[in-house]
Structure 1
């Protein structure tokens, strides 16, 4: 029965890689394993429990609601222009700066399209090869790993029975070091390939439309993050602020600063919440059924028994399992959620912390996605630069692998 479960898991990830609907594949695989174990109703119970998970639903839904409001009010564009503007004045730091600016913006807002639309033409106008310009932006899109609204951080926090900011405090230093390593690595790649200068673009930096940055509007997307950091247990400068409180305050502040129609702001906030529930929470719910099926069929217990005998097996499974699946599928979510749901709760048995193992799985999944030619962000960046996504994978691939190794060494 265990071998049958292993085959189902393998076919599950093959189906995800082939772009079948992720929620359908995870749900049906979990339900099939539950049926084979003779306990199908327990899979449905897991589905129901995940639907009303108090540690995940309010956090993820309010973050996406806030993001929708920032898009409506154009505050996200002002933030992007504020951070991207200085890069055009210092050509020597264009490539590492583009990686780190994209990474920083993605902590507050998942906006690969918005960042790419500004930075990619700017890099090309400065003489950077189009494929390298797109690669630099794609290489920074994993900054969301230290966002309190990233679905994995509240998930890991729930497993470890801590608050979200404790998880972020644990992983942020390693994530930042990895971001710098990625930025430097891609810069060296550009120099070696002679793609850091010399490209002739139809648009020059002086020809680009001027965008007047409103500082107040640019600051608004960062306010919730600032409140969460200041109210965290690590600093406690202000009373503790929850993620939903911070996001709702940020949405209200967006209205005050831009004076947009409050009805439209309200509609967009709730549209964002609905989108988050269907597309993000939906995957978490389906993954809960999948991990329950693995448990019922005995596969989880067998994997734990194997990993108990070797810390290195657990370390490499947490790192390269999500990494490889993310490269092939374009999304690190399914693999990381499956791993964290089934294996990470038992991390202490392998000699690791739950936060460390869970965070490693989700971060390397994000790194894998940032070199995948089939990831949504890669396709957007490729279109903006008018290059093939494969060209970006050629440049980002070795650097993201190095980043995954740095991540593993820093966390486990």
Structure 2
């Protein structure tokens, strides 16, 4: 049965790699394994347990409100153009200091991705401004695209990313942390990830110097498609630029580590709704219809449920199927003998899957559902193991030639996506090693 389970898992991730609908593939694979486990192995409640696992995630009080409010808030920020003001505020000064344009582009993209936690979305928002600016400084287009792309994993420390509330929920149920608060997870990830982002920026800068693709490296200035020119006349409104980071600032101030604001009063949904309310005021000032802004919030919340919550639920069904067929128990037993095996699996599995498929979400979700709850058996914490899995997925995506973000950026720069990832691969791998070591070194 274990070999049959492994075969089903391999087929599952192959189908996801071939761009079949991930939610459907995970759910069906989970049901098949649960059915085999119930009929052949005699597992009690195999199929019904898998369905229950699916339904529980749909009504998970720790996950669902967080995800839908973050997505809704993001849609309102886009509608009111507040996100445009924030991007312009951070991006435009780079052109004035040529020596830092490459590492600066990486760090700015990484930071913005925390506030706007969509890799493809931030690639489009930052790329359309930053790539023309870098090309105008005679940076080679492929390096300009690479500088933005390697920064598109900043969302790993965002409260809006699906994994952080998921890990917090698992850790809370295991009584590892006092509350199902994503900020507890983020605070443990923040420093290792920030160091990893800096390491990635330095690595890419070295590659840029070696390949001679930095400022002034080419006399050919690429003509950009209409609508993709740098917005030289864009006037940044500082107030609008600050609004997208207000919820994040409130969450930091209300975290247990900072404690300026009461933690219970400022949960992720509360902070996102505060930001949304401010966004509605901005819509009124912009003479936009407040009803349209409200519809954008609802659309974002709906997309969050559709794209994220149901994916988490499907991964839970998949994990339940693995447990029913006996695969989870076998994997845990195999890892119990070596802490290093568990550490390697958490980093390598989601990283490779993300690099191959362009999205490590399915792999990281399945790992966190099936293996992460058993972290104590390997001498690790749930936060350590789960965080490394999701960080690895984010970094793996930043060197995938089929990721949505690199396709967008390559299109803006007019280059081949494979040439871009040739430059981001080493920084991503080095950053993964650094972050993984730092996460597991934490007591």
- Which one of 228, 240, 259 corresponds to residue 217 of structure 1? 240
1:304-383 matches, cutoff 5 A: 304-383=332-411
Asked whether 1:138 is paired with 2:149, we answer: yes
SS in 2 for 1:37: helix
Runs of 4+ deviating beyond 4 Å: none
Give the equivalent residue in structure 2 for 1:165.
183
Asked whether 1:397 is paired with 2:417, we answer: no
Give the equivalent residue in structure 2 for 1:386.
414
Work out whether residues 156 and 359 of structure 1, in 8 Å CA contact, stay in contact via their aligned partners in 2: yes
List per-residue Cα deviations over 1:98-139 (Å, max 9, x = no partner).
000000001001322111110111111111111111111010
C-alpha spacing 1:100/1:312, structure 2 compared with 1 (3 Å): same
1:3-82 matches, cutoff 5 A: 3-38=3-38, 39-82=46-89
Work out whether residues 145 and 409 of structure 2, in 8 Å CA contact, stay in contact via their aligned partners in 1: yes
Q: CA deviation at 1:258?
A: 4.2
**Structure 2, unpaired ranges of 5+:** 39-45, 173-178
Give the equivalent residue in structure 1 for 2:125.
114
Q: CA deviation at 1:282?
A: 1.5
C-alpha separation between the residues in 2 aligned to 1:271 and 1:21? 21
Work out whether residues 128 and 230 of structure 2, in 8 Å CA contact, stay in contact via their aligned partners in 1: no
Give the equivalent residue in structure 1 for 2:42.
none
Asked whether 1:228 is paired with 2:251, we answer: yes
C-alpha spacing 1:113/1:212, structure 2 compared with 1 (3 Å): same
Work out whether residues 133 and 230 of structure 2, in 8 Å CA contact, stay in contact via their aligned partners in 1: no
TM-score, normalised relative to structure 1: 0.98
SS in 1 for 2:153: helix
Work out whether residues 125 and 203 of structure 1, in 8 Å CA contact, stay in contact via their aligned partners in 2: no
SS in 2 for 1:53: coil
Work out whether residues 148 and 165 of structure 1, in 8 Å CA contact, stay in contact via their aligned partners in 2: yes
C-alpha separation between the residues in 2 aligned to 1:99 and 1:81? 15
Q: CA deviation at 1:203?
A: 6.1
SS in 2 for 1:141: coil
Work out whether residues 283 and 290 of structure 2, in 8 Å CA contact, stay in contact via their aligned partners in 1: no
1:258-277 matches, cutoff 5 A: 258-259=283-284, 260-277=288-305
Work out whether residues 216 and 257 of structure 1, in 8 Å CA contact, stay in contact via their aligned partners in 2: no
Give the equivalent residue in structure 2 for 1:148.
159
Work out whether residues 134 and 144 of structure 2, in 8 Å CA contact, stay in contact via their aligned partners in 1: yes
- Which one of 250, 253, 260 corresponds to residue 275 of structure 2? 250
Give the equivalent residue in structure 2 for 1:124.
135
Asked whether 1:182 is paired with 2:210, we answer: no
C-alpha separation between the residues in 2 aligned to 1:47 and 1:156? 17
- Which one of 87, 104, 109 corresponds to residue 97 of structure 1? 104
Give the equivalent residue in structure 1 for 2:176.
none
Work out whether residues 186 and 399 of structure 1, in 8 Å CA contact, stay in contact via their aligned partners in 2: yes
C-alpha separation between the residues in 2 aligned to 1:257 and 1:287? 38
SS in 1 for 2:193: helix
Give the equivalent residue in structure 1 for 2:175.
none
Aligned residues: 411
- More off after superposition, 255-264 vs 387-396: 255-264
SS in 1 for 2:160: coil
- More off after superposition, 80-89 vs 110-119: 110-119
List per-residue Cα deviations over 1:158-211 (Å, max 9, x = no partner).
01113111101101000000000000000000000110132221469x985321
List per-residue Cα deviations over 1:328-347 (Å, max 9, x = no partner).
01001111000000000000
1:185-196 matches, cutoff 5 A: 185-196=203-214
